[in-house]
Amino acid sequence: MVKVLFLLSCLLFFLYANPLQDAIDKAAPYAIIKLHKGMYEGGIKINKPLSIVGMEDDVVIDNKGKGSVITITSSDVTLKNLHIQGSGSHSYTIDAAIAMKEVKRCKILSCTIENVLYGIDMYMVSDSRIEKNTISSNGNDIGMRGDGLKLYYSHNNVFADNLIKNVRDVTLHYSNNNLFERNRFYENRFATHIALSHDNILRENEYRYNSVSVMLMGVKDTQFVANTIHSSKGAAGIGVMIGAVMNLRFESNSVRYNAKALYIDGKEKEAGIKRYILKNEIAYNAEAFHFHATIKDNQILYNNIFGNIEDVVKDVAGGFGSSNEVAYNYWDRYSGFDRDKDGIGDRPYEVYQYVDKLWHYNKSVKFFYASPLMSLLDFLLQLAPFIEPTLIMRDAKPRIEPNDLAF
């Protein structure tokens, strides 16, 4: 009888034991657990400072479709060179490859995350580093995937040299002073969605084939510098969507091949310069600037704007506000002269709405956009306007030659 009970207990141990979790539980604080090639059971919880390091390729931690694969509730944890997969599929529990909760000084380095709902869920995480990882979601339709990175009340973190692809979104809510640099965002819905978060820096990142590459809503003191934003796709196809921002510096970026390069939602009650759009290349888009509501509080200087179907579009009534500062941009549609050879056109570059007022304000008319009839009407209205055109952009000092942007 005793032997039977012993064998039964051994069987239960092998059925339900998790050797990796057992190693974590037995490890001393700040220990390094080194894993060799193989398959390890997920669902592990790390509640003490330590490191888990894959010593070879193909060190796989798999949770076989149940909950989060790794949950971290201690500061000073490092995960390195691991292949993490097989989270659950429930959004309400935020099933993730890595769930980090109220921790500091953690590192996720050179890991591959795939076949999960959420990638890395960061709840009240600070002073941590996410570097050189590849993060993707499951194969569901894009709206049914989770976020590659989900930050909530998470501050002072660094995200560098990651590849984030085929996820739903990357989101920052109430998350300040984070740095994103040299990351690649491919084939996502909202590749970077920042809301109610301040003092974040995004530089030298690459965005390709996302529905909306960047969405900024209710942010202030944000820097977006030296990024590549190309080929946004789908019905929206927006490179950068800007709404309710305070002190945004958008500088030295390349924005190409999008339906809308910059979509700017201005508010009538805003006061003071809110958007600094400086030294960018905005080229080969259907629309370079798309303004919703008012055109005000923009400083647009030293940009090269060329090869776009439309330079400036405004989709509701109203004109160009005096609070804008627009100068020294190169516009390939500018047709003025430079008689004093100072590199600046002798007259301002002005963009008016003529017949395009019809389809901007009446979506039924947009069916005829770019048709020979609409083109002819637009040409005739410019020659002899029988309705008052609306000024929507005025560059006081347009450049005759492109600015040297050193791309």
CA distance 92 to 136: 19
**E strands within 317-374?**
325-327, 330-331, 349-353
CA distances from 204 to 111, 161, 189, 296 (A): 21, 10, 20, 28
Q: Return d(Cα 50, Cα 76) in angstroms, integer.
A: 7
Burial 244-262 (b: 16+ CB within 10 A, else e): bbbbbbbbbbbbbbbbbbb
Whether the Cβ atoms of residue 143 and residue 189 lie closer than 8 Å to each other: yes
Residue-level pLDDT at 8: 39
**Residues lower than pLDDT 70 in the chain:** 1-16, 268-272, 317-319, 354-387, 407
Measuring CA to CA, how many Å separate 46 from each of 49, 87, 127, 128, 150?
Answer: 8, 16, 18, 16, 19
d(CA 277, CA 298): 7
pLDDT at 320: 78
Examine residue 164 and state whether it is found in any structural domain, yes or no.
yes
Amino acid present at 184: R
Residue 192 lies in a domain: no
The count of domains in the chain is: 1
In this structure, is residue 377 part of a structural domain?
no
123: domain range?
A: 30-169
Structure confidence by residue, pLDDT tens digits, 124-149: 999 999 999 999 999 889 889 999 99
| pLDDT at site 11 | 38
2 belongs to a structural domain:
no
Query: What three-state secondary structure class fits 118?
Result: strand
Evaluate whether residue 56 is within a structural domain: yes
What pLDDT score does 384 carry? 56
Q: In whole angstroms, how far apart are CA 61 and each of 4, 28, 113? A: 33, 21, 10
Residue range 47-96, pLDDT digits in tens: 999 999 999 999 999 999 999 999 999 999 999 999 999 999 999 999 99
Instruction: Say which residues have a Cβ less than 8 Å from residue 15's Cβ, sequence separation at least 6.
Output: none
> What type of residue is 365?
V
pLDDT value for 143: 85
Number of neighbouring beta carbons within 10 Å of residue 269: 5
Distance from C-alpha of 190 to C-alpha of 293, rounded to nearest angstrom: 22
The Cα–Cα gap between 290 and 298 comes to 13
Dist CA 328 CA 402 (whole Å): 9
The answer as to whether 253 is a domain residue is no
Instruction: Answer whether residue 142 is part of any domain.
Output: yes
Q: Which has the closest alpha carbon to 402: 307, 286, 275, 287? A: 307
Residue of 83, 45, 87 lying closest to 64 (CA atoms): 87
* CA distance readout (Å), 349 to 16, 312, 344: 73, 12, 11
Domain membership of residue 61 (yes or no) is: yes
Long-range contacts of 207-211 (CB under 8 A, 24+ apart): 207/232, 207/239, 208/184, 209/233, 210/185, 210/186, 211/142, 211/236, 211/237, 211/238
